[in-house]
Amino acid sequence: MDDATARTRTLGRRMASAKPAAAPRRSAGSGSPRRGDEPQISPARWAGVALVMVAILAAIVLAVVSPSESGSDDQPGTLADAPSPTPAASPLDTRRPLLAPTIVSPGDTTTAEYEIALTVEVPTEEALPRKLLTLVVLRGDEELRTLEKPKLGSKVTIEGVSLLERSDNELTVALRSAAGYGPESSPVLVTHDPDAPTLTITAPANGTEVYDRTIQVEGTSEAGAKVTIRNQTTGWGPVTQTVDSGGGFEESVKLEYGKNAIVVESQGRTAVSPPQVVRVIRRDGRPRLANVKVPKVIKKSSLPGSISVKVMVTDDRGDPMADAIVAYSLSSLTSPADTYSEVTGPDGRSAWKPEVAWSSSLADDVQLTLTVTSPHDETVSKTYDIPIS
């Protein structure tokens, strides 16, 4: 290879490895740029353009998410402070029941059965709703049976209450919520004795209130057993009778006003059941005269004319007595008695406006007699002397 050829190849290699020359600058006053004279955009400039575009898009999104409203203090394009969320209510109600249920039956008793049923009266005014309550039968701290969502104000029966064999079982009932037990009922003592005659008082229920002078006591025991009944409060009895072939017995027991404790026992062939006690309250059915309004004096100058008599009848607790009969009698020495009667309404009130005639021989006063008979055939009477002047 000759020298010319070698120089040509060397020049070609140098040109291939050389950096491209910068584009020639446009001279001032030159005409329209030529295609080959377009400037090149560097990567740094492209990055700056991209940042500007991202900022514009972010501002648009922010304005859409939180537009400023007319009359608002918020600045356009800014997010208003969100209200604080209300704390969620706790799913656990921490209240306990306030009232105690009552064991209606049985009372204190002895039984040969291993399982018994309890009749329980659920309180009416309990503050907690029914869905939060459970009725529980307790022996000490041991839960024997439960009843979910008992109906308030009702009597419910819980079956299958197991007894300790040949032992005394002191049973109570209580309402339970998620927070714990409410007050417990008064206890009943149920004794398990397989040799004792069964004894059950079916009527009346413990704590029954009546106005009557007597009450019918009914129950069941072993046929042929000797049942003894007495009123421990009044000393009435004891009366003994033989249980009939059907296992039933009944006896009319005299009551006194107030609390009466009726005691029943059953004597079998080899053992005696412990006594059962049923408490009965005899309400005082005698009516009471309240707010009696009669004239203090009758003026002769106003006769003949009518007078006004008003009376309110209440029971032993001071509540209005409806359906009481109020009989009036107005009499003087010179004329026959004027009478009238009326039945009280729900408010226990009655009124009468009798006419009083004028006479030259009028007595010094007239007598007004009020006789009130309650719906329970109890009677009270009172006389008022009204002077005439």
Q: Give the pLDDT confidence of 67-115 residue by residue, as tens digits.
A: 444 444 444 444 444 455 544 444 557 899 999 999 998 888 777 788 9
| pLDDT over 50 at 21, yes or no | no
Residues above pLDDT 90, as percent of the chain: 47
Residue bearing the bigger pLDDT, 24 or 209 = 209
Q: Is the pLDDT of residue 365 over 60?
A: yes
What pLDDT score does 313 carry?
A: 95
pLDDT given at position 164: 94
pLDDT band at 22 (very low <50, low <70, confident <90, very high): very low
Pairwise pLDDT comparison (133 vs 338), residue with the higher score: 133
Domains 102-192 and 199-282 share a fold: yes
Residue-range domain boundaries for the chain? 102-192, 199-282, 288-387
Query: What confidence score (pLDDT) does residue 276 get?
Result: 86
64 pLDDT above the threshold of 70: no
Residues 301-319, mean pLDDT to the nearest whole number: 89
The answer to whether residue 55 scores a pLDDT higher than 80 is: no
**pLDDT at res. 62:** 61
Statement: residue 188 has pLDDT above 70: yes
The architecture (CATH level 2) of 199-282 comes to: Sandwich (2.60)
Which of 30-44, 95-109, 252-266, 370-384 bottoms out in mean pLDDT, i.e. has the lowest? 30-44
**What is the predicted pLDDT for the residue at 73?**
44
Q: Does domain 102-192 have CATH number 2.40.37.10?
A: no
- As a three-state string, the secondary structure of the chain is CCHHHHHHHHHHHHHHHCCCCCCCCCCCCCCCCCHHHCCCCCHHHHHHHHHHHHHHHHHHHHHHHCCCCCCCCCCCCCCCCCCCCCCCCCCCCCCCCCCCCEEEECCCEEECCCEEEEEEECCCCCCCCHHHCEEEEEECCEEEEEEECCCCCCEEEEEEEECCCCCEEEEEEEEEECCEEEEECCCEEEEECCCCCCEEEEECCCCEEECCCEEEEEEEECCCCEEEEEECCCCEEEEEEECCCCCEEEEEEECCCEEEEEEEEEECCCCECCCEEEEEEECCCCCEEEEEECCCCECHHHCCEECCEEEEEECCCCCECCCCEEEEEEEECCEEEEEEEEECCCCCEEEECCEECCCCCCCCEEEEEEEEECCCCCEEEEEEEEEEC
Where is pLDDT greater, at 301 or 344? 344
CATH topology of domain 288-387: Immunoglobulin-like (2.60.40)
The yes-or-no verdict on residue 4 having pLDDT over 60 is no
Q: What pLDDT does 74 receive?
A: 43
User: pLDDT for 221-248, tens place per residue?
Assistant: 888 889 999 999 988 989 999 998 888 9
